[in-house]
Chain A
Amino acid sequence: MALPRPSENPREPSDARLVADAARGAPHALAALYSRYAKHLLAVAYRLLQTTQDAEDVVHDVFVGLPEALRRYEERGSLGSWLHKITARIALMRLRERNARPSVELQAQSLRAGANTPDTAISIEQALRTLPPNLRAVLVLKEIEGFTHAEIAAMLDISVGASEVRLHRALAAMRAQLVDNS
């Protein structure tokens, strides 16, 4: 999944400028970063959590904590990549909290509107949603978000081997379900 690129329009402030302003808590800089990155971050959180409410809560927490976090931010990679990793971590923390509370019903609903969507795509979305959360997390992080197994292992506090096994199981379960439905 391609990360949003910093603006190349000279009229728009650079990421570095926005980072400096946002670190001082300037609302306009926070709003500009939101308009630049929120769509991508919301997508990451939604894919992991499968509910709009939870995904929005994660993005809320990311942006509320951003000014203080940016004071510790070191420009080693792109800002988008850094935000991507932090958002994934917070979403995974929320996922763990939710899994520890089995009484909470998942309110996952497809965001697809209308019936003119390809059947295969709907099946894949349904199959993804029916995966156990620990398998789905690895599948989403690896196949959609593009993290390496080493990065996923660090995020989930599991071994690289366990991450590979979970991905294998997730793909096998997806395939079995799609074949059964066909």
Chain B
Amino acid sequence: MTKLFFWRRRGLSDFADAIRPELEAIPTPEPTDQLLRRILASRATAHRIILPEPATPRPRAPRRTIVAVAMAASALLLFVPSIRRAPSAGDDVFASSGFLAREAFAQPADHDAGRRLAPVALARPGAIRPLALEFSRRVLSATRQILSESVDSLSVAAATVEGTAAWQVTSRTRDVVATQHRVETETLHVARADLRLLARAIHVSPYSRFERINVQQRFRGDSVTGRMTTDGPSIGAGRAIARQLRPELGPYLTNAFAPLALMAVSVSATWSGSAALLGWAVIPRDIMLPIELSVEGEERVTVPAGTFDCWRLSIRSGGGKVDYWIRKSDGLGVRVLDERNAATTGTREAVLRRITE
């Protein structure tokens, strides 16, 4: 009581000094052997987590610097009507990531790039068949050390959508983003007869500040429609999706269908073609990403699922290039190597780990 009496009269810094010993004496849990066993078990199962760097204090900017920056910002606002922003961690940017490209961070809806190559012809729809695949996805440092690793599973099964015979392609990715475990699932239905897109559902949990994001898409003619919603917190009715998918930029491939797509194509040593990776289509910059594929050689490739004679393709989009290997026997994707950001975020690689037919 005496101490409390003085706290009323003295400053907050004195109060802080007075309570500090008691704050430090508040009991905290003891580390247990069970927790250590859990840690070692996680390590043993190749579970990997990328830790953040310790935060470094930012130097305070001098007042004249702040004034100069403010003036420059005002000038930019006056003379530059709009600047396309890249998404940052704190933004609610509803956009996709992908198997063939790190981010299907697509071109604007009015993308007008002329296409040099003929559209990929999915001329052998009968080649798609029920199967289950596992891909191991890794990010490697310049010295080939594994920075992160995850396993993607993918399955193909027969289904029917509103009376149309279809394939249901389900992909599931589990990874760790900034120490947070994340699961992304895509369920895609394509028509068995011609592999046209019918419907697609995507769930990512967690996503940004939300417990879960849900994207539902339906495809009719040259349009994709649907809705994006979130859970925890909900943004109510969400955002409507209504975009035109220009036929001349197709065929449109999704993340789940990408490793299977060339099974339906007759690939040869001189083959090339163009297609587009479909984004979530929630924001204008994430509708589709045009890509061009070309065979660049043939190689025997060994991955955990086995050794396969493969076509080595390049996938080009904008200025970047990704290497992609497909089996010569059936066009199934076996390996993807993306070294576009090797010096900064690392080399990204996905390899076929298991195939069950």
Contacts and interface: CB of A to CB of B under 8 A. Distances in A.
B7 interface: yes
A27 B40 contact: yes
A103 B232 contact: yes
Interface string B103-137: 00000000000000000000000000000000000
Contacts of B180: 93, 97
Contacts of B22: 120-121, 124
A7 to B, nearest CB: 16
A1 B48 contact: no
Contacts, number: 158
A60 B7 contact: no
Contacts of B60: 160
A153 B29 contact: no
Interface in B48-67: 48-58, 60
A60 B38 contact: yes
Secondary structure of the A contact surface, majority rule:
helix
Given A85-B55, A121-B22, A154-B55, 4 more contacts: A30-B40, A69-B51, A154-B56, A168-B12
Interface residues of A, number: 66
Interface of A: 1, 25, 27, 30-31, 34-35, 38-39, 42-43, 46-47, 52, 55-56, 59-69, 71-72, 82, 85-86, 89-90, 93, 97, 100-103, 110-112, 120-121, 124-125, 128, 140, 143-144, 148, 150-151, 153-155, 160, 168, 171-172, 174-175, 178-179, 182
Contacts of B4: 120, 178-179, 182
Nearest to A28: B40
Contact of B29 (A61, A71, A111, A175): A111
Interface stretch (B13-21, B161-169, B217-225, B270-278): B13-21
A144 B56 contact: no
A73 to B, nearest CB: 10
A155 B26 CA distance: 23
B357 interface: no
Interface of B: 1, 3-4, 7-8, 12, 15-16, 19-20, 22-32, 35-36, 38-40, 42-44, 47-58, 60, 141, 145-147, 178-180, 206, 209-211, 232-233
A113 B42 CA distance: 32
Closest 6 CB pairs of A and B: A65-B49, A150-B57, A85-B54, A38-B31, A43-B28, A154-B55
Given A61-B179, A171-B15, A175-B7, A27 B43 contact: yes
B145 A61 contact: no
Contacts of A100: 209-210, 232-233
12 contacts: A27-B44, A46-B28, A59-B39, A65-B48, A65-B50, A93-B180, A101-B211, A125-B26, A128-B26, A144-B23, A154-B56, A171-B12
A93 B42 contact: no
B43 A124 contact: no
Contacts of B147: 68
B49 A34 contact: no
A77 B324 CA distance: 44
A16 B141 CA distance: 23
A63 B179 CA distance: 11
Contact of B50 (A68, A102, A144, A153): A68
Contacts of A97: 180, 206
A110 B3 CA distance: 23
Nearest to B58: A154
Contact of A42 (B15, B28, B52, B53): B28
Given A30-B43, A46-B28, A71-B145, A65 B55 contact: no
A34 B31 CA distance: 8
B339 to A, nearest CB: 20
Contacts of B51: 61-62, 65-66, 68-69, 86, 90
